[in-house]
Amino acid sequence: MNETNKILNLQIGLKDIIGRLDKWLADKLAKDLSRSDIKKLIEQGNINLNGLVVKPNHKIKPGDWITIILEEKPAAQGLVAANIPIDIIFEDKYIIVVNKPAGLVVHPAAGHFNDTLVNALSFYCKNLSDINGPMKLGIVHRLDKDTSGLLVIAKDNKTHRNLANQFKKHTIEKTYVTIVQGSVNYDEGVIDAPLSRNPFNRKKMSVSHASSRQAVTRYKVLKRFANLSLLEVYPQTGRTHQIRVHMAHLGYPILGDSTYNKAKGIKGLILRQALHAEKIRFKHPHTAKIVEFKAKIPDDIRAVINKLG
């Protein structure tokens, strides 16, 4: 056995609710391990009852001793902690809410290994969820490289699972601000169009009615200019490139979007997609209270709005 492994010894108390071994442990260790994690540990022989290997559904009783061997996880191979400034909007024991600038990649990938948000987070904070692997520490959801705005980071796996479940149920409310090409016809609207990988370019997404990946985006016009419109956008689902593809599909591609808009950005003001995740509202994973955070519109998008008057 590796000497750095962590060993936990737990005893079933007289007042404990008895039942299945895996369920009892899942309740006791909810902050660190899911029920599926515990089941896997039992099946691997890393959890035993009174010195014996048992099945996950084994019935426990008061006085029983449980020994758990938690194998030390290897350090993240290749992940380098980097002292990159982070704009922190909020932080407590469970979450960090950051305002990601445009140009910063969220996690290491081809071409970006040492200069991402995850590199910065691993330098700033020792405790981050690792459900998505060592290269995506703390990352529950993401933004495209050239999209700015709010991201919620999980400090532990229980928090991560809670937030991921809220995203899955579409109960987290996100508001984006964007500038699109053209004068949008209707003051408000809903785009309900499924998305899938573009069959001719795997780096792009496209609307495909043969796809089962439902994608829904609501929008509201804040102001119209001569050939541009300022919108608030509320994605109801979280597909890759969703807002960018949906607005282009509607005929109003996002200003400066080099992938889905053939027109270039406004020279000297903005050369990236004018898309900013301005607000996020969700149930705090620990307190269950509704919390809301806001990140001010960045200078480049503000400069376009000011120029247009």
Distance CA 163, CA 138 (A): 11
Distance CA 172, CA 293 (A): 12
Q: Can you say how many angstroms the Cα of residue 248 is from the centroid of all Cα atoms in its chain?
A: 24
| The two three-digit tokens of residue 18, written as one number | 């008895």
Q: Give the residue from 181, 184, 179 showing the smallest Cα distance to 301.
A: 179
Under the phi-then-psi rule, with left for phi > 0, alpha for psi from -120 to 50, and beta for the rest, what region is 111?
A: left
Residue tagged active-site, from 22, 130, 144, 300: 144
Q: Which residues contact 269 (CB under 8 A, 6 or more apart)?
A: 300, 303, 304, 307
Distance CA 126, CA 53 (A): 34
Please give the C-alpha separations between residue 206 and each of 46, 63, 107, 249, 308, in angstroms, as whole numbers. 46, 59, 24, 8, 30
CB-based contact 275:232 (threshold 8 Å):
no
Side chain identity, residue 164: A
Asked if 144 is an active-site residue, the reply is: yes
Classify 159 as helix, strand or coil.
helix
Catalytic residues: 144
